[in-house]
Amino acid sequence: MKPNPDERVPVVPKHHALVRFSHWANVPLLAALVASGLAIYWAAPVFLHPRDPVTGSADYVKDASLWIAGALGDPGSDPANWIYDHLSLGTRQLAVALRWHWVFAYLFMVNGTLYALGLAAGGGWRALLPRPSDVGDALAMIRFYLGVIPMAILRRPWPHPPVRGKYNALQRSAYFSMPILGTLVVLSGWAMHKPVQLGWLERLFGSYDNARVIHFLCMIGLAGFVVPHVVLVIADGWDTFRSMVVGWSKRVREDRHGRA
Amino acid sequence: MDEPERPSGAEPEPAGASEILAPTPEDLAPVAEEAPPAPAPAPKPKRPGVLAERPEEVELVPRGRLAAQSRREFLLFGLGTVATASALWWLLPDRAKARLLPGPWRDRLDTLAMRVGLSRERREATLNRALTFDDDVAEALYSRDRAVRTYTRAEVTPLRNNYNGQTPTPEYLASWKLRLLGLASGRVEEIALTDLVRRHRLREQVTRLVCVEGWSAIAWWGGLRFADLLRRFPPAPGARWAALRSSVNLDGAGRPDPYYVSIDLDTARHPQTLLATHFGGRPLGVDHGAPLRLLVPMKLGLKNIKAITEIEYTSYEPPDYWNERGYSRYDGL
């Protein structure tokens, strides 16, 4: 039997169209920026240690590459360049990587500006502000996440901690720090890109080399956010994913806690 | 989803109000204990703007309209995903493509991309466009009055010899002269190093040299101002660029590989743009471009040409070695 199209369904409005657009645009933008950024990093690694006499490597990315290649037993590629070969545009691609980086960096700034304007105009920023109760609430959320799987196995009830507002404390701290990291990554990028004309920005980061370190730490922070973010969306289910595409949620009564 | 389905008397754009939801038993306690008193109803309720975040309040929406909206949004999402994935694939360097997707499927995909106009030539043109846009931004940011940050001699760091290819052997030094072309006088000048060093006041500066690769070094330089040479031998009217060339550069196998850079005269006239003769308090060694190199600390290292043998002033933008190899032409820092 076909459901009646006029029947009214209860839904909750979720994310504004601008938020949804800038959210999804960030996926290819960040991927392209990381891929080209790592290829640029290859030309002059930032995080170095004294040369290891066994591996001949002085670069932590090469160490990690050797480790990953060893763990995967991947014989096809150069083990010391595994990360550059698989997660970046590749070694010896500096000219291409720089051009990629400018294309996507400008688009990333446009996207970030759109997001910020949307948040400011729509008042959505209020839902992201930290609150005094966040530390305790975040700990409760971590406890909840740690217990979900064991309690499911034990078939014991494991209620979600109460959520006041659009996001729980963990989400709020993550969604609050992402725009800050995004701003920092852009500013440190400009400090490296134009250290003379934007000398004040270079000084703000201390030195040219400090700006590079901060730029890469921000990248690690942004990329590090993606892993738990995706895991939690998958754990939370289809409705949470859909709400970021369509803008509304059907979780009305039984469980309104979006937890991506 | 733009038209609010709420009653017309929708409350004004909420501050804390958006967060107070229709109470459910589990929420009631914490809300009651912490939430501020509900804000007093605003005098005149205004319609929420297009951008306004809507409160998470339950709305009753006809199933048909919800399905239509859902279809539209997922269609857009799917189209966006396909378009973005195609664009990223198209922009990938050939080597990365070969690594990601070996075999006939890559050829098929590339053929398909060519059919819809996503050719290799267009890819290069698009990426070059990003470069020229970034160059335009750099040129707009440039100010001749802005000084490059200087350091103390105690802050000097080791500077590597980054000669592209092999470092030239010092035989060329014996017969070295600087040729000047494109002058207002119409003559070709040949100047010896002793002339340059004796006739011009030598300046010292400790500045950072930034390489396109990402590393940098603070070094102590000495030399004459490019601006002083320009004053002594004025370029022909209408000249806007200087082409600086070195005929002694070698490639990796030791064969001649002349190096050439373009410098806009605005940058050349900057007081911190030197024709350097000294490095670390001593005359330049061959590894750092003896006997004369350009020092433009407001440009990337690759513009700081070593062992200059010729300067020509031009009204058109002269070719630039690394620009022809996919790098920026302006390279402003």
Of B84 and A146, the structure prediction assigns the larger pLDDT to B84
Of A73 and A65, the structure prediction assigns the larger pLDDT to A65
- Neighbouring residues of B317: CB distance < 8 A, sequence distance ≥ 6: B240, B241, B262, B329
C-alpha radius of gyration, chain B, whole number: 32
The β-bridge partners of B332 are B299
Query: What pLDDT score does B41 carry?
Result: 53
Position B45 pLDDT exceeds 90: no
B165-195 confidence digits (pLDDT tens): 889 888 988 999 999 999 999 999 999 999 9
Query: What pLDDT score does B64 carry?
Result: 87
B210-227 confidence digits (pLDDT tens): 999 999 999 999 999 999
Provide the b/e sequence for A218-241 (b: ≥16 CB within 10 Å). bbebbeebeeeeeebbeebeeebe
- How big is the A-B interface in CB pairs under 8 Å? 198
Position B47 pLDDT exceeds 80: no
Of A8, A17, A253, the CB nearest to B60: A8
Query: What pLDDT score does B44 carry?
Result: 55
- Strand, coil or helix: A77: coil
The β-bridge partners of B282 are B279
DSSP string, B21-45: PSP-HHHHHHHHHHSPPPPPPPSSP
DSSP E strands in A3-133: the ranges are 8-13
B115-133 confidence digits (pLDDT tens): 888 888 899 999 999 899 9
Q: How far apart are CA A113 and CA A110, in angstroms?
A: 5
Query: What pLDDT score does A140 carry?
Result: 81
Q: How far apart are CA B274 and CA B295, in angstroms?
A: 5
Of A229 and B234, the structure prediction assigns the larger pLDDT to B234
- pLDDT grade, residue B38 (50/70/90)? low
Of A169 and B36, the structure prediction assigns the larger pLDDT to A169
The β-bridge partners of B262 are B243
Query: What pLDDT score does B24 carry?
Result: 43
Q: Which two tokens stand for residue A78?
A: 């150069």
| Residues B134/B328, Cβ–Cβ less than 8 Å | yes
| Residues A83/B250, Cβ–Cβ less than 8 Å | no
Q: Are strands B310-314 and B178-181 parallel, antiparallel or unpaired?
A: parallel
For B122-151, what is the mean pLDDT? 92
Query: What pLDDT score does A29 carry?
Result: 95
Query: What pLDDT score does A2 carry?
Result: 65
Position A80 pLDDT exceeds 50: yes
Of A9, A199, A248, the CB nearest to B1: A248
Mutating which of A197, A209, A238 best tests the B interface, going by the most B Cβ atoms within 10 A?
A197
A11 contacts B61? CB cut-off 8 A: yes
- Strand, coil or helix: A11: strand
Position A256 pLDDT exceeds 60: no
B212 touches chain A (CB under 8 A): yes
ipTM: 0.83
B52 contacts A122? CB cut-off 8 A: yes
Q: Are strands B216-225 and B178-181 parallel, antiparallel or unpaired?
A: unpaired
Query: What pLDDT score does A144 carry?
Result: 83
Whose structure tokens read 């270079």? Answer: A202
For B127-142, what is the mean pLDDT? 92
Closest to B47 in 3D by CA, of B7, B105, B79, B17: B7
Which element (helix H / strand E) includes B279? Answer: strand B274-279
- Neighbouring residues of B327: CB distance < 8 A, sequence distance ≥ 6: A95, A98, B131, B212, B302
- pLDDT grade, residue A16 (50/70/90)? confident
CB contacts of B19 in chain A (<8 Å) are: 127, 164-166
List the Cα angle B91/B93/B94 in 5-degree steps. 120
A196 contacts B146? CB cut-off 8 A: yes
- In total, chain B counts a number of residues equal to 333
Which element (helix H / strand E) includes A135? Answer: helix A134-154
The percentage of chain A sitting over the pLDDT mark of 70, rounded to a whole number, equals 95
- pLDDT grade, residue B60 (50/70/90)? confident
| Residues A33/A112, Cβ–Cβ less than 8 Å | no
- Mean of pLDDT over chain B: 84
B296-308 confidence digits (pLDDT tens): 999 999 999 999 9
Whose structure tokens read 């590749």? Answer: A90
A199-249 confidence digits (pLDDT tens): 999 999 999 999 999 999 999 999 888 888 888 888 888 888 888 898 888
Identity of residue A115: Y
Query: What pLDDT score does B322 carry?
Result: 93
Query: What pLDDT score does B35 carry?
Result: 47
B58 contacts A247? CB cut-off 8 A: no
Closest to A145 in 3D by CA, of A231, A256, A59: A231
CA of B323: which chain A residue's CA is closest?
A95
CA of B214: which chain A residue's CA is closest?
A44
B32 touches chain A (CB under 8 A): no
A106 contacts B130? CB cut-off 8 A: yes
Helices (H) and strands (E) in chain A, counts: 9, 2
B325 touches chain A (CB under 8 A): yes
Position A254 pLDDT exceeds 60: no
Domains annotated on chain B, with CATH = 151-325 (3.90.420.10)
Q: How far apart are CA A99 and CA A151, in angstroms?
A: 50
B138 contacts A194? CB cut-off 8 A: yes
Identity of residue A134: D
Q: Are strands B178-181 and B189-191 parallel, antiparallel or unpaired?
A: antiparallel
B75 touches chain A (CB under 8 A): no
Where along chain A do its domains lie?
A: 123-260
| Residues B303/B264, Cβ–Cβ less than 8 Å | no
| Residues A218/A184, Cβ–Cβ less than 8 Å | yes
Q: Which two tokens stand for residue A37?
A: 């950024």
Of B14, B18, B66, the CB nearest to A11: B66
Of A89, A166, A242, the CB nearest to B19: A166
Query: What pLDDT score does A253 carry?
Result: 57
B258-274 confidence digits (pLDDT tens): 999 999 999 999 999 99
Query: What pLDDT score does B217 carry?
Result: 93
- For chain B positions 95-134, those within 8 Å of chain A (CB to CB) are 95-96, 99, 126-128, 130-131, 133-134
- Mean of pLDDT over chain A: 86
- Strand, coil or helix: B301: helix
Query: What pLDDT score does B40 carry?
Result: 55
| Residues A179/A112, Cβ–Cβ less than 8 Å | yes
Query: What pLDDT score does B4 carry?
Result: 41
List the Cα angle A33/A205/B268 in 5-degree steps. 85
B92 contacts A164? CB cut-off 8 A: no
Position B239 pLDDT exceeds 90: yes
Of B49 and B176, the structure prediction assigns the larger pLDDT to B176
- Is cis: bond before B23, omega within 30 of 0? no
Query: What pLDDT score does B32 carry?
Result: 42
- pLDDT grade, residue B19 (50/70/90)? very low
Position B50 pLDDT exceeds 80: no
